[in-house]
Amino acid sequence: MRRYMVAGNWKMNMGPAAGRELAAAVQQKLAGRELGGDVLVCPPYATLPAVAEVAAGQPLLLGAQDCSDQVSGAYTGQISAGMLAEVGCRWVIVGHSERRQFQREGDEDFVAKITRAFDEGLKVIFCYGELLEERKLGRQADVVRDQLKGVLPRLTAADAGNLVLAYEPVWAIGTGETASPEQAQEMHAQSRQLVADIMGYPEAANMRILYGGSCKPSNAEELMGQTDVDGGLIGGASLKSDDFVGIVDGAEAALANT
């Protein structure tokens, strides 16, 4: 049985003061509850230490939104996986569509970043998903296959314990338009089959595959109730404690129904 994960990606929102407040509010709402999954927040770099003061450890885990593909040295503006581990991160997101789009990152970058993260003991949420034009052309299955095949076979240290996948159709990110539960399930099942082809059956059965893209309290339970949807990567709705905890409630309700 796979534990669900609900991960908040705050993107470039919430400075240290606002971030500490948000994390404390989430922590307070979850306090004392026996959760059947993992709940994680990924603030911007500058906010990590403030959030670590209130949120590192149970039940709320801390993650970052990206890391450098280098270990250390003359790389102005970059942050290493080792530094993230030092400030209390246990997780890091790699391959988000906004990094693909705005920083032009691709497979080579992702392999290097994930490798650095594993070397420092961090676990990784690897994001992938098709663009609107690609879905309109019916190419989503090919795109997802290429994105997973370009990275997963080169991660020699990856397993279902240190890697989580996040299928995020780009047309659903921040648009208010969500993939239907059927669309999500179809892509997740296909992703799991690809993981089986690349990493073998036990890893595929245990690998958590999150859905991301306009996930909110009102659709979380139905999405996460799909057989191959093991939680969510949450952008906009992770910025309000009620909404974020509402999504955790959705994950719990989906779990209770299985």
Residues that bind ligand PGA (CB under 6 A): 9, 168, 173-174, 212-215, 233-237
Q: Cβ of 202: how many Cβ atoms within 10 Å?
A: 11
C-alpha distances out from residue 126 to 2, 58, 254, Å: 17, 23, 23
**By C-beta, is 195 or 220 nearer to ligand PGA?**
220
The single residue of 134, 168, 203, 252 carrying the catalytic annotation is 168
**By C-beta, is 187 or 199 nearer to ligand PGA?**
187
> Which residue sits closest to ligand PGA, CB atoms considered?
235
Cβ neighbours of residue 11 closer than 8 Å, sequence gap 6 or more? 44, 65, 98, 235
Torsion of CA 234, 236, 241, 247, to 10 degrees: -40
Has 168 been annotated as catalytic?
yes
**By C-beta, is 43 or 212 nearer to ligand PGA?**
212
**Helices 140-149, 181-199: crossing angle, 10 deg rounding:** 30
* Shortest Å, Cβ 233 to ligand PGA: 4
Has 105 been annotated as catalytic?
no
* Shortest Å, Cβ 110 to ligand PGA: 16
* Shortest Å, Cβ 226 to ligand PGA: 17
In angstroms, the CA 233 to CA 214 distance is 9
- Annotated catalytic residues are 96, 168
